[in-house]
Each structure stands twice: as C-alpha cells, then as structure tokens.
C-alpha cells in the first residue's frame, strides 16, 4: 500500500492507497481517476511538532491495527507533504526506521509535471503543489483550488498546466481564535449556520460573520482570479472546513476533500521507478 502523509500546521492526514491503484512509471497512459479512487483508509491526527519519529510510528501503527493492518507488510511506498519543517525530518526518520521505504518528499527537485510560475518556485508550499497537481488532473483546464485549512490558500492553475500563483489569508479557525483571545466579552461558538445573515444574538452574529464573511471572501477572490486570467475556471474546494463553508459559496463548483492526497499519489507515481 502507498502511505500518503499531508502534514498541516494544525492537523496531519494519513491516507492509504491500495497497491493496485498506483501507476508507477509513465503516467501519460494512466486511466482517469477520481480523488478517492483506491483510498482505502484515512486518519487525521493533531500536528505536534515535537512528537518523535518513534511516537509517530507507534501512533500510526495503532491506527493501522484498528483497521486490522500490519505496518511492515502493508506499506510499500511513502509520499510526504509537510508545511512543518521540523516534522519533515522526523517523518523521514520514521519511514526509514520502521517502514524501510525510501519516501518521496515534496520539495525542490521533485517532478510534479507542472510548470511553477512563481517568482521563487521554492517558496510554494508542498501542499499547494499537491493541490494544483491533483486539481488539474481531475478537472483539466483553468482551475482555482481553495484549501480551507490553518490558512485559507488559493491556487490558480492555467489551462496549459502552469501554476500561476494565488493568495494566502488567515484561516477560519485562526481568525476565530484571534477574535476570542482578544475580545474578552466574546466566547467560542459552534461553526454552524445561524437563522439569518442578520444575527439576533452575539452567538448568531459571530456565526454569521464567520460563515457568510469567509464565504464572501472566497467568492470575491475567485471572481478576481477569473477576471485576471481572462477565462472561466473550475473552482475546487478542499481542506478540513471545505464542506462547512463551500455550501455558502456561489463561486465554488465542486468539493474534493481528498484532493491533497490525490495530488500526493500522482506526484509519487511520477517519481518512482517503473514496475518491471
């Protein structure tokens, strides 16, 4: 099985793909796939930057055991995307020590099949590259990927499979935490749709601002992206809060919760030797 690891600032997602769904070598003849095709299991844990390689191995081994899988016999390949530099080396050590595999780590020098038209391509986060690769694969042509994570990231891909750039704004939970931390009279609320846009209580007012405010922010940026590239583009939502916010967005066309893992699988396929 292929183990795809997406390390975010707040949460880390593990995805397991069946070996039969991995297409090693020349990907140009690979059949069209869905984002969740071959994804047999997924796990989500809190990102803890000082967790050791052994602790990661123990935790993941326990998660596999809950599914009746053995770590050594089950994992044949590993691909890692990480936005937390100190954990990149930790996970590399975990893979080397416990899984005896040579991991593909998204970063400079890794084949992605996509031209990165950033002023400094090394600045583009690994998760943003994976999202762009996965988004274009599922929806060939101009596309915008909105990832609702710790930060809300927007990534624009041209119809010629070029990564054009995008935008980064504080994520919903980050913004809400800052509000509660700095406004003594306000308390945490559940992120659900209020009765109306005009809140009739402090709780509803916060919910209205969070849900409709971030939805309008996403819509506004997507309209500006489309205007700048001069083309209609498919807007794809992903990330932990994508299912919550996207239903209130007019510009989002489709929600792909496993888009990042799908992109990681595709990049893995481009960087492993062909089966012989």
pLDDT in tens, 176-198: 889 888 887 788 888 888 899 99
Residues 148 and 230 grouped into a single domain: yes
Residues 119 and 64 grouped into a single domain: no
Residues 49 and 129 grouped into a single domain: no
Cα 101 to the chain's mean position, in Å? 23
Domain count, the chain: 2
Structural domain of 160: 115-259
Residues 161 and 229 grouped into a single domain: yes
Question: For residue 5, what are the β-bridge partners?
Answer: 14, 80
How many residues in total does the chain contain? 276
Residues 70 and 125 grouped into a single domain: no
Residue in 6, 127, 147, 155 annotated catalytic: 127
In our burial notation (b when 16+ CB lie closer than 10 A, e otherwise), range 131-150 reads bbbbbbbbbeebbbbbbbbb
| CATH number of the domain that residue 255 is part of | 3.30.420.40
Residues 67 and 201 grouped into a single domain: no
Residue holding tokens 């031209």? 115
Residues 255 and 120 grouped into a single domain: yes
* Rg from Cα positions in the chain: 19
* Single pTM value for the model: 0.90
46 within a domain of the structure (yes/no): yes
pLDDT of residue 137: 95
Does residue 127 carry a catalytic annotation? yes
Q: Residue 152 corresponds to which tokens in the numbers above?
A: 């809300």
Q: Residue 31 corresponds to which tokens in the numbers above?
A: 């059949």
Residues 149 and 73 grouped into a single domain: no
92 within a domain of the structure (yes/no): yes
119 within a domain of the structure (yes/no): yes
pLDDT of residue 110: 92
Say whether 101 sits in a helix, a strand or coil. Answer: coil
pLDDT of residue 141: 93
Query: Alpha-carbon distance 189 to 192, whole Å?
Result: 9
Ranges of residues in the chain with a pLDDT under 70 are 19-34, 71-73, 274-276
Residues 93 and 227 grouped into a single domain: no
Residues 100 and 154 grouped into a single domain: no
Residues 165 and 255 grouped into a single domain: yes
- Please compute, for residue 85, the number of CA atoms within 13 A of its CA located in the half-sphere on the CB side: 1
276 within a domain of the structure (yes/no): no
pLDDT of residue 74: 75
80 within a domain of the structure (yes/no): yes
For the beta carbon of residue 223, count every other beta carbon within 10 angstroms. 13
CB 35 within 8 A of CB 134: yes
> E strands along the chain, which residues?
2-7, 11-17, 39-46, 77-82, 104-105, 115-116, 143-148, 151-157, 162-170, 234-238, 254-255
Residue 262 dihedral angles phi and psi, to the nearest 5°:
-60, -45
Question: For residue 45, what are the β-bridge partners?
Answer: 12
pLDDT of residue 88: 94
């Amino acid at each position: 099985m292929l183990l795809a690891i997406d390390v975010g600032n707040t949460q880390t997602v593990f995805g397991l793909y069946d070996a039969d769904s991995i297409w090693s070598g020349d990907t140009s003849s690979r059949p069209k796939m869905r984002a969740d095709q071959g994804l047999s299991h997924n796990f989500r844990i809190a990102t803890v930057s000082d967790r050791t390689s052994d602790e990661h191995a123990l935790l993941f081994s326990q998660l596999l055991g809950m599914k009746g899988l053995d770590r050594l016999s089950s994992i044949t390949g590993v691909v890692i995307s990480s936005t937390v530099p100190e954990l990149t080396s930790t996970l590399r050590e975990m893979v080397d020590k416990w899984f005896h595999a040579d991991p593909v780590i998204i970063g400079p020098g890794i084949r992605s099949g996509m031209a990165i038209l950033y002023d400094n391509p090394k600045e583009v986060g690994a998760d943003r590259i994976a999202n762009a690769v996965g988004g274009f694969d599922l929806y060939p042509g101009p596309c915008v990927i909105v990832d609702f994570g710790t930060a809300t990231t927007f990534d624009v891909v041209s119809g010629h499979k070029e990564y054009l750039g995008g935008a980064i704004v504080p994520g919903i939970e980050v913004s809400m935490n800052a509000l509660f931390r700095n406004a003594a009279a306000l308390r945490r609320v559940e992120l659900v749709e209020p009765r109306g846009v005009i809140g009739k209580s402090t709780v509803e007012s916060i919910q209205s601002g969070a849900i409709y405010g971030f939805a309008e922010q996403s819509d506004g940026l997507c309209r500006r992206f489309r205007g700048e590239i001069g083309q209609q583009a498919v807007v794809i939502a992903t990330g932990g809060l994508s299912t919550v916010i996207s239903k209130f967005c007019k510009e989002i066309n489709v929600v792909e919760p496993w888009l990042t893992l799908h992109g990681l699988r595709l990049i893995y396929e481009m960087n492993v030797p062909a089966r012989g």
